Amino acid sequence: MADPAHADTLYAAIERLPEGVVGEIIDGQLHTQPRPAGPHVTAASSLMIGVGSAFYHGHTGPGGWRVLAEPELHFRRNLEVLVPDIAAWRRERLPEVPADQRFEVVPDWVCEVLSPSTEGTDRELKMRVYARYGVPYAWLVDPRDKRVEAYALEAGEWQDTATVSGDTPIRAAPFAEVAVPAPWA
């Protein structure tokens, strides 16, 4: 784990990145990636609409959540900084959205949309950090294979709770009350 001075230097590097480049600090190292390609953006946007309509706005489901695109998660201020494609908090855990870019409350759910250039980082490094800080649920979405993998954290380990393929609607924790349309349908 990086010392605070090193972390501040890494975070300053994130702030200097050119527009269109996303930076994250994972296990004390700076990781960067370009903005995602069309299939990635399509899947993330579709999930935001499906999950957001039911769980953020309560139009087609129970509501009670804050569902946000690309929040900058600070698990330890400037020491672990991750940017999932989507994250969600139960409203009682995040009653107000922070005024700046730093979300310091651990989310209740994260979703990573896999791309060829980010799949290894998303599956290995980021999932390990999410488990370390106790994110209870995670989905990995692969637009190339049209597959959604849902995981729940149990005793510090990810357990596969559902895998949905093709155009089958998604019913997986923590959003199992509503069938969320497949993000490529």
When pLDDT is cut at 50, 70 and 90, the band that residue 5 belongs to is low
Q: What is the mean pLDDT of residues 84-91?
A: 98
- Give the CATH number of domain 36-165: 3.90.1570.10
What percent of the chain is modeled with pLDDT above 70?
96
Q: What is the mean pLDDT of residues 17-37?
A: 91
When pLDDT is cut at 50, 70 and 90, the band that residue 4 belongs to is low
User: pLDDT, tens digit, for every residue of 110-145?
Assistant: 999 999 989 999 999 999 999 999 999 999 999 999
How confident is the prediction for the chain on average, in pLDDT? 93
Q: For the chain, what are the domain ranges?
A: 36-165
Q: Does 153 have pLDDT greater than 70?
A: yes
Burial class (CB in 10 A: 0-12, 13-18, 19+), 64: exposed
Q: Does 8 have pLDDT greater than 80?
A: no
* Cα 139 from Cα 94, distance rounded (Å): 20
Helix (H), strand (E) at residue 90: strand 86-90
Alpha helices in the chain (DSSP H): 4-15, 38-51, 119-120, 127-132
pLDDT score for 6: 62
When pLDDT is cut at 50, 70 and 90, the band that residue 3 belongs to is low
pLDDT score for 9: 86
Judging by DSSP bridges, how do beta strands 86-90 and 80-82 pair with one another?
A: unpaired
Q: Does 1 have pLDDT greater than 50?
A: no
Q: Does 78 have pLDDT greater than 80?
A: no
Q: Does 32 have pLDDT greater than 70?
A: yes
When pLDDT is cut at 50, 70 and 90, the band that residue 7 belongs to is low
